[in-house]
Each structure stands twice: as structure tokens, then as C-alpha cells.
Amino acid sequence: MLSALSELKGELLPALDAFVEASRRLDKSRAVKSLTTALERDIASAFRKQGAVVLEKLGAYKDRYPVAESSYDLSETLSPKEWMIIFGEVSDETLDLFSRPLLKHVQAALKAGGNQVVNSLGISELNFSLANPGAMRYLDLVGGLHIKDINETTRGTIQTLLSKAGEEGWSYDKLANEIRGRFEEFAIGQPQAHIASRAHLVAVTEIGDAYENAARLAAGDLQAGGLVMEKIWRTAGDGKVSAGCQENAAQGWIPYNQAHASGHMSPLRFPGCRCDEEYRRKE
């Protein structure tokens, strides 16, 4: 009798685990998809408006560029130092365009990620709060370093265009069109080349990273409260999964405080990573 029950348990547990994982991933997919779509739309709008501010600032230097494309003294073009000063002003004037939607949607992702872990363990009396010290530190990063990184990438990209304009003797009109086109590419990408836009990459990364950070914080709080927690790295399960993520997933269930094979404590491994972490109370 005991042997039969043991065999039945051995058959049912994997099926139950698969059901729980599928349910968890469906809940996450719904929450993340809506937040990602909303943030992508807002960031695309922010890029377009930032591009308009850049062109407005550069208009004051229009006389440094020829009327038509020709070779001329490169010293007359905009220097990297001048561009840094200009873009510093642009960053200040457009800060709210990025910070407001980022903080709004990241806060929602933090709540969703933290509460998903708590709910999956059936602990209905607990709720993940943004007052969590870890969540507060994360929001500080989003409002500071994350936006700085976005702007630094933009600054470097436009600097490359400015340098090329000087080297090839572009007219100001051509330069303006190239800059306008580049910011539009930031917003919607290049569909003809099947390249995701920067707005989409920012949204996927920020929402996914916030969700996973909150999940880890919630699991950590449960462990600190006396539960022994385990985790497992889950991939998207298709041919686009990187070798590093596959190695992490191959480890199976490991202790909460153990690093994965890649050295990461939890996803995301890189911008745009589609992996997530599942947590459970150790049997």
C-alpha cells in the first residue's frame, strides 16, 4: 500500500509542478505584457520629443554647416565638448519625459513580481510593499542610473552622426534629417530589417528586471521569516535562448542564496533577457 502511494506521489508531483509553473508563467505574461506595451509607448513618445529638443538646440549652430554637401574646415563643426554641453541641457529638459513613465510602470511591475511569489505559496495574508527597502533602492536606481544610461546611449549615437557630418561635409538639412530619422528609429525601430526599437528594448528590460527583482526580494523576505526557499531558472524554451541561460536552467532547483552558473543571483542576465525565476518552499 505504501509503495503504491509512493509511486502515485512520484507520478503526480511532476504534473503538479508543471501545472504550477504554467499558471505562474501565465500570470506573469499577462502582467508583464500590458506593462511593457504601455511603457514602450511612453518611451517612444519621449524619444520623439527629445529628438525635437535636440534639433531645436542644434538650430543655433546651423551656420557652422554648409548649405550643400562639400569639403570644408572640420574645426568649424560642433565639437564633442560643445555637444556634451548641449545634450546636458537636453537631458535636463526631457528628464520627466522618461522618469515619470519609467517610475510609474516599474512600480507596478515591482508589485506584480513581489505579490506573485507570495501568492504562489498561498500566503494570502502578506502583500509585497513598495516600502520594502530593496524596492526603494531599486526605484532610486531607475530614477537615476537607468535614465542616465539611456541618455548616454543616445548622446553617443548622435555624436557619431555629428562626427560623420563634419567628416563628409553634410549640409545642416541633411544632418537634421538624419537626426530626426535616428530618433524615429529609437521610437519604432526598423520594421524592414526586423530590428526591435530602443523603446521596446527599454520597456522589456525595465519591466522584466523590476518584476524579477521584486520576486527575489519577496522570496528573500520569506526566507528571513523562517521558510527555506529554493529557486530555479526558467528560460523561454526556444531556439533563441543563450547558452548561459541554458546552463543556469540546467542546474534545476538550487538554494535561494546560491548563485547560478553564470554568477547571477536571478534574471535578467542582459538587456532584453526573457528568462525568469521560480521560487518555492523547500520540501
Q: pLDDT per residue over 44-72, tens digit each?
A: 999 999 999 999 999 999 888 887 765 55
Contact 21, 234 (CB under 8 A): yes
CB < 8 Å & 24+ apart, contacts of 176-179: 176/55, 176/58, 179/51, 179/54, 179/55, 179/58
What's the whole-number average pLDDT of the chain? 89
CA distance 177 to 203: 26
Q: How far is CA 130 from CA 24, 30, 103, 115, 143, in A?
A: 21, 21, 12, 11, 15
Per-residue pLDDT, 271? 93
CA distance 283 to 109: 29
> Which secondary-structure segment (H or E) carries 277?
strand 276-281
The pTM (predicted TM-score) of the whole model is 0.87
The CA-based angle 178-179-184, given to 5 degrees, is 95
Q: pLDDT per residue over 209-233, tens digit each?
A: 999 999 999 999 999 999 999 999 9
Q: How many CB atoms lie within 10 A of CB 118?
A: 20
Per-residue pLDDT, 194? 44
Share of the chain above pLDDT 70, in %: 87
Q: pLDDT per residue over 104-130, tens digit each?
A: 999 999 999 999 999 888 887 788 999
CA 279 to chain centre: 21
